[in-house]
Structure 1
Amino acid sequence: MKLIPALLAAAGTLALTVSAHAQEADIRKALAERIPQMDKIDEVRPTPMKGLFEVRIGTDLFYTDAKGNYVIQGELIDTKARRNLTEDRIAKLTAVDFAALPLKDAFTIVRGDGKRKVAVFEDPNCGYCKRFERDMQNVDNVTVYLFLYPILSPDSAEKSRNIWCSKDRVAAWQDMMIRDKAVPAASCDTSALQRNLAFGRQYKITGTPTLIFANGTRVPGAIGAAEVEKRLAEASTDTASAR
Structure 2
Amino acid sequence: MKKKLISFAVAAITMVGSSVWAQTPAQIEANIKKVISSNISSGVKIDSVTKTPYGGLYEVRMGNEIVYTDDKAKYIFVGSIIDAKGTTNFTKQRTDELNRVNFSELPLDAAVKYVKGDGKRVIAIFEDPNCGYCKKFRKTLQGVDNITIYTFMYNILSDDSVTKSRDIWCSADRSKAWDEWMMNGKVAPTAAASCKTPHDQVLALGKRYRVTGTPTVIFTDGSRLPGMVDVKALEEKFASLKTPSLAAK
TM-score normalized by the length of structure 2: 0.81
- Specify every segment of 5 or more residues in structure 1 that has no aligned partner in the other structure, as ranges: 1-20
CA contact (8 A) 1:149 1:197 kept: yes
Alignment of 1:87-166 (within 5 A): 87-166=92-171
- The counterpart of 2:202, out of the listed 196, 205, 209, is 196
Structure 1 or 2: more helix by fraction:
1
CA contact (8 A) 2:49 2:59 kept: yes
Aligned residues: 219
Alignment of 1:72-87 (within 5 A): 72-87=77-92
RMSD: 2.0
CA distance in structure 2 between the aligned counterparts of 1:223 and 1:39, rounded to whole angstroms: 31
Q: How far did residue 170 of structure 1 move? A: 1.1
Q: For residue 146 of structure 1, what is the amino acid of its counterpart? A: T
- Specify every segment of 5 or more residues in structure 2 that has no aligned partner in the other structure, as ranges: 1-21
Q: For residue 44 of structure 1, what is the amino acid of its counterpart? A: V
Partner of 1:17: none
CA spacing shift, 1:133–1:39, aligned 2, 3 Å:
closer
> Aligned residues: percent identity?
44
Partner of 1:206: 212
- The counterpart of 2:47, out of the listed 42, 49, 65, is 42
CA spacing shift, 1:106–1:43, aligned 2, 3 Å:
same
CA contact (8 A) 1:132 1:222 kept: yes
Does residue 30 in structure 1 map to residue 35 in structure 2? no
CA distance in structure 1 between the aligned counterparts of 2:86 and 2:77, rounded to whole angstroms: 21
CA distance in structure 1 between the aligned counterparts of 2:45 and 2:149, rounded to whole angstroms: 37
Task: String of CA shifts for 1:110-162, please: whole Å, max 9, x gaps.
Answer: 00000110001100100000110010000000100111111100111111011
CA distance in structure 1 between the aligned counterparts of 2:171 and 2:187, rounded to whole angstroms: 12
Q: How far did residue 191 of structure 1 move? A: 3.7
Instruction: Report the secondary structure of 1:77's partner residue.
Output: coil
- The counterpart of 2:60, out of the listed 34, 55, 71, is 55
Instruction: Report the secondary structure of 2:217's partner residue.
Output: strand
Partner of 1:220: 226
- Indicate the structure (1 or 2) with the bigger Cα radius of gyration: 1
